[in-house]
Structure 1
C-alpha cells in the first residue's frame, strides 16, 4: 500500500514539474493537468479503500474531471481555429 502512495506522490510531482516547465504550449499544459488529475484520483481511491468508504465520491470526481478536460479541449480547439496555433506566449490578451 505504501508503494501506491509513493507512486501517486511521484506522479503528482512529475505532473507539476511538466506543468511548470512546458508553459508555452496549451496542449502540453492540458495533458499535464490531466496527469495531475489522474494522480489525485489514484490518491483518492487509496484513501477511500483504506478507510472502507463508499466509492460514490470517486465517481463524482471523475465526472468533474471529464467536464474539466472537455472544457480545456474546447478552449484549445477555439484558440487553434481563431489564431492558428496554441502558443500561449504569443497572445497579448492573456498578460
Structure 2
C-alpha cells in the first residue's frame, strides 16, 4: 500500500469516515523537511498498511483542513481515530521514530 493524496473536498471521506486509523501528513512542495520524511512515510504505508492509512494533504492547495486542525508548522502529522484527531507530531523525524510514534498511538 502506498500513501495517497487527500484534499479539503475529500478529507471527510478519506480521513474522518475511514474504517481504520488514518495518519495525515500536512506538507507543502517548498518544505524541505516534508520532502525528507516522504520516503519514510511511503515505506511505512507499505509496512503498516493493514493497521493504518497514510494520506498526504498539500496545505497550499487545501487550506481548510490545516486551519481546522490548528496546523501551524509543517510537516505536521495528525493521527485520526474514529474521525477524531488522536495524536499530533510536529516536525520531521527519522522513519523509526515515526513508526514508534504511530505504533504507540494505535
- Is the structural similarity TM-score above 0.5? no
Greater length-normalized contact order (CA 8 Å, ≥ 6 residues apart) = 2
Higher helix share: 1
Higher strand share: 2
TM-score bracket for the superposition, by shorter chain length: 0.3 to 0.5
Which TM-score applies when normalising by structure 1?
Answer: 0.33
Larger Rg: 1
Which TM-score applies when normalising by structure 2?
Answer: 0.30
